[in-house]
Amino acid sequence: MGQKGFENRELSWLAFNERVLEKAEEEQVPLCERLFFLSVFESNQDEFFMVRVGALTDLEREDPEMRENKTHRTPREQLEAIAARVRRLEKRRDRCYLELTDRLIGQGVRLVDFSRLAPGQEPILQEYFQREIRPLLSPQVVGKRQPFPFLSGGGLYAAVSLETRGGSGKLGLIACFSRFFKRLLAVDGLPGCYVLAEELILHYASSVFENYRVKGLALIRITRNADLDAEECAEEGDYRETMEKLLRRRGRRQPVRMELRGSLPSGTMSVLCRYLGIGKEEVYRCQTPRELSFFEDIRHLLQKNPALFFPRFLPQRALDGTTGRELCQRLKERDVLLSYPYESIRPFLQLLEEAASDPEVVSIKITLYRLAKDSKIVDILTQAAENGKEVLALLELGARFDEENNIEWSRRLQEAGCRVLYGLEGRKVHCKLCLITARRGGRICYLTQIGTGNYNERTAGQYTDLSYITAREAVGGEVSRIFNHLCLGEPPAGCRLLLTAPRGLQEQLLVRIEEQRAAAAAGRPAYIGMKMNALTDKRLICALMQAAKDGVQVDLLVRGSCCLVGGIAGYTQRIRVISIVGRFLEHSRLYFFGCGEEQTVYMGSADLMTRNTLRRVEVLMPVLDTACRQRLKNLFALLLSDNQNSWEQQSDGTYRRREIKEGERPLDAQAYLCRMAREGKEGRPEKKSVAYTASV
């Protein structure tokens, strides 16, 4: 922790991923789910290096003296602190991996360890390598006429230190991946034993370089900087074409990390680092395989044993009405709130499906950020366009790591006759809005949906998100104006009910925080509760700190980065920070101001990060329906009471697993919500059986 009450954003994020690692270490979590959490920890680390470390590396080159605004570290100081924290975490990861793979043996799955081969295994493995793998390899010895090859980010390579008969040193390289062989290999003659392709290749690399003496062997994996901004390479012409060029560039950017498993002489290491343009401080040595996506194959092997997984849960049909028309009738009486993944996304999809064919519906307008690979939403929108509806899809091509998927969907939507916009220049459109406009009985009617998460059927079964649907004319009118602004290439403005970024959201939240501070100063009840993925906006953090000093109780549910440190005596002692990491990814955003009947509740897709409050298009909506508002209050209180999957921030910025206090009963909030959804009078399961697991 640096400046009083503040934590560095990057170190706070690493603390979040440490909590993910703790779930992989937790004895009470079923074995296959522990494998999942460990693989998520690894993929999270990869993305962290590609994006956050990549950005810091760029910043160090461009402005090495610039200090971040909370703990005042330079880019180099942040990179050094990150490296130290990561190396500590990776030691724990290695121990966890060894424990989990040992436990797999008891389930009949053994990963081959070449340092401890059983009698008779060596000839079988060697014969398999020579027959199935060796003919598919393209080894290279780096030299004057064989230049150092391009190493793809995330690819696994065998690096071999070689010595010629004349005594000169050489570097050999073998790509350990191919579409012609799997990574996790079941070897004939070794029932229950599996070997990773890269381990097999590395072990028999000496037979590949048979005319050389092998002096060292290691598996290496490169992580490349993926922090590219589309606006940096924007040019005249079609924005989609610019994005495609950007993606090609990103795959060839400078490495920011080399992971190494094995041993290479120092001279060979120097050669590798020189070719890759990295320093030795960017080399991370590890004891376990790199990239753990093969765990999913192991989970598949064990899927018939339900004891190794979380209990199967099916999203429930939360509404009596099973058709969009029946939902429309209900919306005339009151607003509707769907809570994913406890409740199914199907009622919303049916609402869209019927709008697509309803002769009175004029248009469907929607913002799209991340879509499923086989998106039903796109199918419905294309059908609506083919039925003659005006369909406006604002598709954010710059959604990081979803760019290729979104580019393809944009083509399909355009081909079907939809009007496709790519957002605003210099700003991502991150809000989740859908507006159905109809002309009924000679008047314009709106159905408006606002969500905290993406229009993605897959993640609706894995992330905790909220979907609020209303027929209120005032809300529909404001959302209609927001879409008009976006069509003109402008940020939204002029809303009375909705809070919108980049114009106004931060200022309006500051006003509401100040109202609570003033209430506390006047001796009236005052309260602020917030649930989000990240809290990094310094202006809002300072306002929360001041409110707490003046008597406001502040409860923060922050899953990931939190740059505010609560619990500091005489300073932030009225601020409590809780993080929940459970079976489902906590993803919804909720904001509560005030107490009792006068409390206002907002929901939407905006985290309290400067990029959300000032540099993106975001929308927060007041929850106007009394029953929906009470339901959200109950949800927030339930999550604050969780003592099974929650960590509480300490006054030094660290997080400690919450313990059951005397007189308390164990409460897993997510499991409780699953049970309530199953037992609800309105709930009935989807027909299709799907096993839902955590995604973090």
Residues 48 and 79 sit within 8 Å (Cβ to Cβ): no
Range in 55-59, 159-163, 615-619, 660-664 with the lowest mean pLDDT? 660-664
CA 53 – CA 47 distance, rounded (Å): 9
pLDDT reading at 165 higher than 90 = no
Share of the chain above pLDDT 70, in %: 95
CA 656 – CA 5 distance, rounded (Å): 17
The pLDDT value given to residue 209:
95
* Mean pLDDT in residue range 466-492: 96
User: Nearest 5°: phi and psi at 648?
Assistant: -110, 135
* Mean pLDDT in residue range 45-69: 95
The pLDDT value given to residue 1:
47
Structure tokens at 317: 């049909």
Share of the chain above pLDDT 90, in %: 83
Q: Are strands 655-657 and 646-649 parallel, antiparallel or unpaired?
A: antiparallel
CA 49 – CA 225 distance, rounded (Å): 7
The pLDDT value given to residue 235:
52
Structure tokens at 339: 């809570």
In sequence order, what are the residues at sequence separation of 6 or more whose Cβ sits closer than 8 angstroms to the Cβ of residue 407? 240, 243, 244, 397
The pLDDT value given to residue 590:
98
* Mean pLDDT in residue range 150-155: 94
The pLDDT value given to residue 239:
77
CA 429 – CA 247 distance, rounded (Å): 19
CB burial class (10 A; 0-12, 13-18, 19+) of residue 312? exposed
The pLDDT value given to residue 282:
96
The model's pLDDT over 522-573, given as tens digits with 9 standing for 90+, comes to: 999 999 999 999 999 999 999 999 999 999 999 999 999 999 999 999 999 9
pLDDT reading at 689 higher than 50 = no
Q: Is the peptide bond before 265 cis (omega within 30 degrees of 0)?
A: no
319 — pLDDT class (breaks 50, 70, 90): low
The pLDDT value given to residue 279:
93
107 — pLDDT class (breaks 50, 70, 90): very high
143 — pLDDT class (breaks 50, 70, 90): confident
* Mean pLDDT in residue range 2-31: 94
CA 59 – CA 251 distance, rounded (Å): 19
232 — pLDDT class (breaks 50, 70, 90): low
The angle at the Cα of 411, spanning 407 to 417, to the nearest 5 degrees, equals 145
Residues 299 and 306 sit within 8 Å (Cβ to Cβ): no
Task: State the chain's mean pLDDT as an integer.
Answer: 92
Residues 47 and 122 sit within 8 Å (Cβ to Cβ): no
* Mean pLDDT in residue range 420-438: 93
End-to-end CA distance of the chain: 25
The pLDDT value given to residue 683:
39
pLDDT reading at 237 higher than 80 = no
Residues serving a catalytic function are 430
CA 93 – CA 38 distance, rounded (Å): 8
Which residue type, as a one-letter code, is found at position 210? E
pLDDT reading at 2 higher than 60 = no
Range in 242-251, 346-355, 492-501 with the lowest mean pLDDT? 242-251
The pLDDT value given to residue 241:
77
Residues 640 and 557 sit within 8 Å (Cβ to Cβ): yes
* Mean pLDDT in residue range 315-334: 75
Residues 239 and 422 sit within 8 Å (Cβ to Cβ): yes
The model's pLDDT over 670-683, given as tens digits with 9 standing for 90+, comes to: 999 999 998 874 43
Residues 289 and 220 sit within 8 Å (Cβ to Cβ): no
The Cβ of residue 168 has, within 10 Å, a number of other Cβ atoms equal to 8
The angle at the Cα of 459, spanning 224 to 463, to the nearest 5 degrees, equals 100
* Mean pLDDT in residue range 616-620: 97
214 — pLDDT class (breaks 50, 70, 90): very high
Alpha helix (H) residue ranges in 209-260? 239-250
Q: Are strands 428-429 and 616-622 parallel, antiparallel or unpaired?
A: parallel
pLDDT reading at 41 higher than 60 = yes
CA 545 – CA 538 distance, rounded (Å): 10
pLDDT reading at 208 higher than 90 = yes
* Mean pLDDT in residue range 378-383: 97
